Amino acid sequence: MLMPETKPGLATAEHGLVTLDGPDGVAVTMTPDAARETGLRLIAAADEAKGQSTDVVFPPL
């Protein structure tokens, strides 16, 4: 299993596009519609994951 990232990504809007910058130089550029849908899906998955158990201990944000 990959070690989960504990720091949130940084989203910015520029020239009509949304860029999500993550750890280790990972970056994704999306249209506004794709970014909005991705955000909704991330929120839904985060809500679902909160109700699940894990053996991994995460440091606080």
Q: What is the pLDDT of residues 15-56, one digit of tens each?
A: 999 999 998 889 999 999 999 999 999 999 999 999 998 776
14 within domain boundaries: yes
Could you tell me the CA-to-CA distances from 8 to 1, 16, 20, 60 in Å, in that order? 19, 22, 10, 12
Q: Which has the higher per-residue pLDDT, 11 or 24?
A: 11
Q: Are strands 27-30 and 17-21 parallel, antiparallel or unpaired?
A: antiparallel
- The predicted pLDDT at position 55 comes to 74
29 is in which domain, residue-wise? 10-50
Task: Note whether residue 34 is domain-resident.
Answer: yes
Is 61 part of any domain?
A: no
Q: What is the DSSP letter of 25?
A: G
Quickly list H helices, 1-61. 32-50
Q: Is the pLDDT of residue 60 over 90?
A: no
Count of positions (residues) in the chain? 61
**Position 21 in a domain:** yes
Q: Is 59 part of any domain?
A: no
Whether the model pTM is above 0.75: yes
In the chain, the number of structural domains is 1
pLDDT at 31: 99
